[in-house]
Structure 1
Amino acid sequence: MSRILFLNQPSIGHLNTLLSIASQMKEDGHEVSFLVPGIMRSKMNTQNLGPGGAVPYLIQKNDIAVNVIRPHFSLAVSAIILPFMSGYNETVYALDMFSKGIVYYTKSILKAIESNKPDIMVSDFTFFASSVAAELTKIPCVVVYHSGLPFRGDTVPPFGSGLPISENSAHDGEKYIRKEKELVQRLDDRFNAARRKFNLPALAPDMLRRPYSEWLNLVTSIEAAEAPRNNLTSHTLFIGPCYGKRKGMQMEFPFEKLRADKFKVYASLGTVFNNKPDVFRKIMDALDEPEYQVVISAGGAYQALSQRKIPQNVLLFKSVPQIELLPKVDLVIGHGGNNSTNETLAAGKPLIVIPVGGEQTDNASRMEFLGVGRRINMKQLDKSKIRQAIGEIREQPSFLERLAAIKQATSQTNGLVSASRCIEWVARHRKPLHRPSGFPLTITTDNLGQLMDM
């Protein structure tokens, strides 16, 4: 069995996937631990730190050891501002925030490696210092991506732009192409400047838009749920969604109140950008009709919403057991975060995306490209647009047909088992795990054994 060090940014959205993989690997007999920027607090003290402040506590809740790195000074201010950003500016701001302090974090990781002596490291793709520390210590480093959105493709617009996925993306996105070039160059320069501090050679350009681990890149999605990409390496694998092993996420829910005779709509805006009571009110107003039943996971907007009268057909909660709820509803209205999007597709449910920023705008474009959902921009959100989007989805059988195909393809994967087996393979063999020529990009329960035997 292997000793595995997981590294993650202080973000619940980024944590969920790695925590599920770590829990699976612990169950498989491996010794797992986490290293994250943050402050160790008790449960009662995490409420005032925002969603990211709960990261160390949630890891501990899963009976997994966690060590914290005192956050780089730039993170404190940036993390406060981030929830107020939107659109492409949020993408740029978040990536700038995550790419600061690479030298500082590399030194902290090196100390943790000296103390813990891991056989392998598994890092979220935005924790760039992990790969520097891994190269310095010659320890394998697996990088995890939550979707294929960062990678390039012939019809794929700039990352985070939210432009349509189409043949005209290059022409329509000239402004974003220029901005992205500046961002990519800035990140490359920042990353290579850190590498020079440790006497490492510069890496090839375009780190943001390509799978950058030389050992193994795991994408927690399936090829059928992504736009075609043209720069994937042979050591990049799509393994399917990774969720279901986390503790501390379970909660009670009155499933008996769900009405079989109603069209059930579930609305949620995720864990970071959810304090938007006006958005939830527009959704409730649009669906205040006898044919609908609405379940709302309001998050930070719960208090504001609960203090006013809500329609009789609405079930209002601060949070819900989303994975268990999704199979029981008919349609989802969400923000388009990677985790929620993957979970909704796996459940075979149509998704109306109201994006705020970051990958959410790209996921909105992805839903329309795949023909499994609709997009409504926040500024254009009103009762008529919500009703129109739902009407189109209910009236056109093609939405459910495409969703059924994606659900079927997803059901053939077991992301957690594939992640555990592939990471263990790299730790044991201490060499990159390559897909042979012609081998499927998506790893299924049927072909995983064949890959492991190669």
Structure 2
Amino acid sequence: MTHFGILCPAAIGHLNPMCALGRELQRRGHRVTLFHIPDVQTKVQKAGLEFHTIGEAEFPLGSFEAIYQKLGEMSGLSALRFTIAWLEKETLLLFREVPDALSKVGIEALLVDQVTPGGGTIADFAKIPFVTVCNALLINIEDGVPPYFTHWGNDQGWWYRLRNRAGNFLLDRLSLKISDLVVNQRRRWNLPPYVKAEDAAGKLAHICQLPAEFDFPREQLPQCFHYTGPLQDPSGLEPISSSISFPFEKLSHRPLIFAALGTLQNRKEEIFQTIAEACIGLDVQLVISLGQPERKESVPNLPGSPLVVAYAPQQQLISRSILTITHAGMNAVLGALSSGVPLVAIPITNEQPGIAARIAYTGTGEFVPLSGLTVSKLRDNINRVLTEDSYKKNALRLQQAIRSAGGVTHAADIIEKVVFTKKPVLAQTN
């Protein structure tokens, strides 16, 4: 038995897949402890994992709600900057408190989210193996692949590669403070410097919850990189879920469209207004989840009388749907494709534009950039996806790819092999 530790952001989109992976490892007899601030404790313990509190003095219980609310009102580059600034604070916290916590709890191996940049350095300092897990869109940089925060297509040619390089340079500048933190911490701990940025992910195994068929073609992934497909609980339940009950009795016999903007970028109610207006006249039932389980005020009355709830069991609603309207969050998109449901995306910030670009690339749906969102544009895309057979066929094709990828079971197999052999697990030999 191995005692695993988990380091990941506090967002549901990262906690859900990490908890699903942790539960799979628990089923195999291992212990799993997730380290984070007090606001995360109840969610993680409800998911059945052990929890160790860090950052209690700096982030007392209830402090994260203000961060959620501020981020939920932002979009585009400003939201990306805000997210990076939070990751900087989180990196400082992890360096300060996690090494002692790992020793105290007795952690023997780490699972590190790819967007937790200090995790690999902490594992190196603790002299324990670690596996990198890409819960969001993978951030591996190649000139032939657009930066993850853009909705650029997979165009080829020298001009497009130059464009991609410029976008990645911008991202490097925005993330420079975090990079410097890692460099300086490795120096303080007498660890060898990284030769290149990709070294931070380690050399044992990188697990990505995309199926390979949903990504742009890549040429420079490390040999230990594995596309495992979604890290979802085999039961179909969401590990981090709300106690709010959903009124299933209000669902009609009409075809269902499920719309949600995740649990972070969901405070722009004008987007929900646009979605509701765009669906007027369609012979469907529109269900809108505001993604705000702690919401105290009443839900808004939107045009067309959709069923609007503060929070919904996302996967259960998606599996009943003929279409999902989404912000292009990774878990929502993979949830839809796992059920063979096509999508219309309204990407808001961070990696969402890059995920939306892959929806278009795979023909599993369409997207409307937030800057160009209008009722007519959204309605046209909804009608196109609902009436053209190719979108449903491509969604079913991706559903089959996801089933073949292995998911959380395959990911856990890789992790166990890393811990047993202490050697890299290569994609072509596992």
| TM-score of the two chains, using structure 1 as the length reference | 0.84
Q: 2:174 aligns with which of 153, 163, 183?
A: 183
Q: For the structure 1 residues 203 and 355, does the alpha-carbon distance in structure 2 shift closer, same or farther, using more than 3 Å as the test? A: same
Q: Say yes or no: does 1:132 pair with 2:118.
A: no
For residues 325-345 of structure 1, the C-alpha deviation after alignment (integer angstroms, 9 at most, x for no partner) is: 212111111111111111112
Q: For the structure 1 residues 154 and 395, does the alpha-carbon distance in structure 2 shift closer, same or farther, using more than 3 Å as the test? A: farther
For residues 156-206 of structure 1, the C-alpha deviation after alignment (integer angstroms, 9 at most, x for no partner) is: 222313323322533555753441242355543332112111111210233
CA contact (8 A) 1:87 1:361 kept: no
Match for residue 356 of structure 2? 364
How far 1:263 moved relative to its partner?
Answer: 3.7
Map 1:49-64 → 2, pairs under 5 A? 53=39, 55-64=40-49
**In 2, Cα distance between equivalents of 1:101 and 1:257:** 42
Q: For the structure 1 residues 159 and 62, does the alpha-carbon distance in structure 2 shift closer, same or farther, using more than 3 Å as the test? A: closer
Q: For the structure 1 residues 85 and 196, does the alpha-carbon distance in structure 2 shift closer, same or farther, using more than 3 Å as the test? A: farther
Q: For the structure 1 residues 78 and 247, does the alpha-carbon distance in structure 2 shift closer, same or farther, using more than 3 Å as the test? A: closer
How far 1:71 moved relative to its partner?
Answer: 6.3
How far 1:147 moved relative to its partner?
Answer: 4.5
How far 1:22 moved relative to its partner?
Answer: 0.8
Indicate the SS of the match to 2:405.
coil
CA contact (8 A) 2:137 2:351 kept: no
Q: 2:134 aligns with which of 128, 145, 150?
A: 145
Runs of 5+ unmatched residues, structure 2: none
CA contact (8 A) 1:211 1:236 kept: no
How far 1:235 moved relative to its partner?
Answer: 1.1
Q: 1:113 aligns with which of 93, 97, 102?
A: 102
**In 1, Cα distance between equivalents of 2:336 and 2:231:** 13
**In 1, Cα distance between equivalents of 2:274 and 2:93:** 45
Q: 1:374 aligns with which of 353, 362, 366?
A: 366
User: Which amino acid is 1:274 matched to?
Assistant: N
Farther off after superposition, 173-182 or 90-99: 173-182
**In 2, Cα distance between equivalents of 1:237 and 1:263:** 36
Q: Cα RMSD over matched residues?
A: 2.7
**In 1, Cα distance between equivalents of 2:174 and 2:296:** 38
CA contact (8 A) 1:122 1:144 kept: yes
**In 2, Cα distance between equivalents of 1:429 and 1:173:** 38
CA contact (8 A) 1:263 1:293 kept: yes
Q: Say yes or no: does 1:295 pair with 2:276.
A: no
**In 2, Cα distance between equivalents of 1:258 and 1:120:** 45
How far 1:211 moved relative to its partner?
Answer: 7.2
Indicate the SS of the match to 1:289.
coil
CA contact (8 A) 1:170 1:177 kept: no
Q: 2:224 aligns with which of 235, 238, 241?
A: 235
Runs of 5+ unmatched residues, structure 1: 40-52, 440-450
**In 2, Cα distance between equivalents of 1:361 and 1:135:** 33
For residues 95-129 of structure 1, the C-alpha deviation after alignment (integer angstroms, 9 at most, x for no partner) is: 34313464552342221222122221111122222
CA contact (8 A) 2:203 2:424 kept: yes
Q: For the structure 1 residues 202 and 397, does the alpha-carbon distance in structure 2 shift closer, same or farther, using more than 3 Å as the test? A: same
Match for residue 386 of structure 2? 394
How far 1:79 moved relative to its partner?
Answer: 6.3
Map 1:78-89 → 2, pairs under 5 A? 81-89=70-78
User: Which amino acid is 2:141 matched to?
Assistant: R
Q: For the structure 1 residues 18 and 237, does the alpha-carbon distance in structure 2 shift closer, same or farther, using more than 3 Å as the test? A: same
Match for residue 348 of structure 1? 340
**In 1, Cα distance between equivalents of 2:291 and 2:20:** 22
Map 1:8-87 → 2, pairs under 5 A? 8-36=8-36, 38-39=37-38, 53=39, 55-70=40-55, 81-87=70-76
**In 2, Cα distance between equivalents of 1:304 and 1:281:** 17
Q: For the structure 1 residues 281 and 111, does the alpha-carbon distance in structure 2 shift closer, same or farther, using more than 3 Å as the test? A: same
Q: For the structure 1 residues 138 and 211, does the alpha-carbon distance in structure 2 shift closer, same or farther, using more than 3 Å as the test? A: closer
For residues 74-99 of structure 1, the C-alpha deviation after alignment (integer angstroms, 9 at most, x for no partner) is: 99787664334321332343234313
Match for residue 299 of structure 2? 306
For residues 312-334 of structure 1, the C-alpha deviation after alignment (integer angstroms, 9 at most, x for no partner) is: 4x222111111122121111111
Q: For the structure 1 residues 234 and 172, does the alpha-carbon distance in structure 2 shift closer, same or farther, using more than 3 Å as the test? A: closer
Indicate the SS of the match to 1:56.
helix
Match for residue 444 of structure 1? none
How far 1:406 moved relative to its partner?
Answer: 0.7
How far 1:20 moved relative to its partner?
Answer: 0.9
Q: 1:278 aligns with which of 270, 289, 293?
A: 270
